[in-house]
Amino acid sequence: MIKKAISLGVAKINVNTECQLAFAAATREYIEAGKDLEGKGFDPRKLLAPGFEAIKATVKEKMEIFGSIDKA
């Protein structure tokens, strides 16, 4: 259905909510596993990394669905 809509001229599809949900779920999982307490202490880069990777995966999936890979 998405590809059909794109072929009919839809040029903008919002995916931010899905990205936010993926980020929150990955970050929650990281914290619930206690990984934020490992090592030398609190490191925001480590805390945010799982969410960042989840957003990248979501965007890649959407780009594949939308047929926008290798396009400007």
Own/partner contacts of 37-42, CB < 8 Å, gap of 24 or more, are none
Question: Structural domain boundaries of the chain?
Answer: 12-66
Per-residue pLDDT at 42 exceeds 90:
no
Mean pLDDT of the chain: 92
Angle CA 67–62–18, to nearest 5: 160
Longest CA–CA separation in the chain, Å = 54
Cα 36 to Cα 72: distance, rounded to the nearest angstrom: 37
Q: Record the pTM.
A: 0.83
